[in-house]
Amino acid sequence: MQSKNVSVYGIDGSKKTSIAVPSVFFTPINEKLIKRAVLSTESAERQPKGRKKLAGRNYSARYYGRRSLPNDRKSINTDRARLPRKKNRRAILSGDVANVPQAVGGPRVIVPKVQKILHERINKKERRAALLSAVASTLNLEWIQRRHVVDGNIELPFIVESGFEDLNKTQKVINALKALKLYADIESAKGKRRTKAGRGKTRGRKFKQKKSILIVTGKQARVYKASRNIPGVDICPIQKLNTRLLAPGTQPGRLVVWSETAIKVMETW
């Protein structure tokens, strides 16, 4: 079992004290397990949807395939496609095609069903192992530098004093991150917000924002409201930490700022 001490930084950027790193950070990293846990979390948010059984078929159209019918009723031998046509349109020869997929307003061939299982379930022990593995990936500086703008001499895990949780203004949080020399990554995330393509723009998913720093606290604190509008920054208490936050897009190695209180909670994991 490995062990080491790391510095605890104050909100002014100075080193305050040192603390032992919990053994959770030395868990073997399993990238495939992390990816599976993230996909399971994302699939749980999908909402089942379906179609009405009569959608596209609720018309009076019928197909008459007998030659013995009168000319004003039969659908064959009339120099037109043999398809169901609507009634009550003066005569059968002027009826519109309906009730078939190739018709205007017709049904879809393959429709989504509410009964379809969308959630990719994962065992509790696997989810737990994936979380510990994702926490350990936050010590891999090479992975972090692929996705974040960070100094190569940074001390990982990066821990700040508990007073950071009491910051109640966005500008105070920004000043603290600048003093800690972490604000360069947020500046990088600011210029990487783009408009999505496709229909999702009209359904509340207009923009895609690059992920930046993840702040983990020991409890629900005042710093939450102060941090929520900073581009790319996520914040959560240690009790609600999940693999998706630690490895967005199934890619492990996120830049995480741990509060001293959160580290003390992790010692009991």
Average pLDDT over residues 138-148: 95
Confidence of residue 146 (pLDDT cuts 50, 70, 90): very high
Per-residue pLDDT at 254: 95
pLDDT at 133: 97
Instruction: With cut-offs at 50, 70 and 90, classify the pLDDT of residue 141.
Output: very high
Question: Given this model, what pLDDT does residue 77 score?
Answer: 83
CA R_g for the chain: 29
CB-based contact 208:193 (threshold 8 Å): yes
Position 55 scores a pLDDT of 93
pLDDT of 131 strictly over 90: yes
pTM over 0.85: no
Residue 234 CB contacts under 8 Å (≥ 6 apart), including other chains: 211, 213, 214, 215, 245
| Domain chopping of the chain, boundaries | 5-45+119-193+208-266, 51-111
- The CA-atom distances, in angstroms, between 247 and each of 32, 61, 90, 160, 208 are 12, 54, 64, 21, 16
pLDDT surpassing 70 at residue 183: yes
Residue type, 153: N
Ranges of H-type helices in the chain: 31-43, 124-137, 141-147, 170-179, 183-190, 223-227, 243-246, 260-266
| pLDDT above 70 for 71 | yes
Helix (H) and strand (E) counts in the chain:
8, 8
Interval 222-258: pLDDT, tens: 999 999 899 999 999 999 999 999 999 999 999 999 9
What is the tens place of the pLDDT at every residue in 185-200? 999 999 899 999 999 8
CB 16 within 8 A of CB 10: yes
Classify domain 5-45+119-193+208-266 by CATH number.
3.40.1370.10
Q: What is the mean pLDDT of residues 90-118?
A: 86
Mean pLDDT (the chain, rounded): 91
Transcribe 41-81 into DSSP letters: HHHTTPPP----TTTTT-S--B----TTS-TTT--SSSSS-
Band of pLDDT at residue 119, cut at 50, 70 and 90 = very high
- Whether cis (ω within 30° of 0) applies to the bond prior to 248 is no
What band does 70 get if pLDDT is binned at 50, 70 and 90?
Answer: confident
List Cβ neighbours of 155 (8 Å cut-off, separation of 6 or more): 6, 7
Percent of the chain with pLDDT over 90: 77
- Cα angle, residue 253 at apex, residues 246 and 255 outer, rounded to 5°: 75
- Match 């949080």 to its residue by tokens: 173
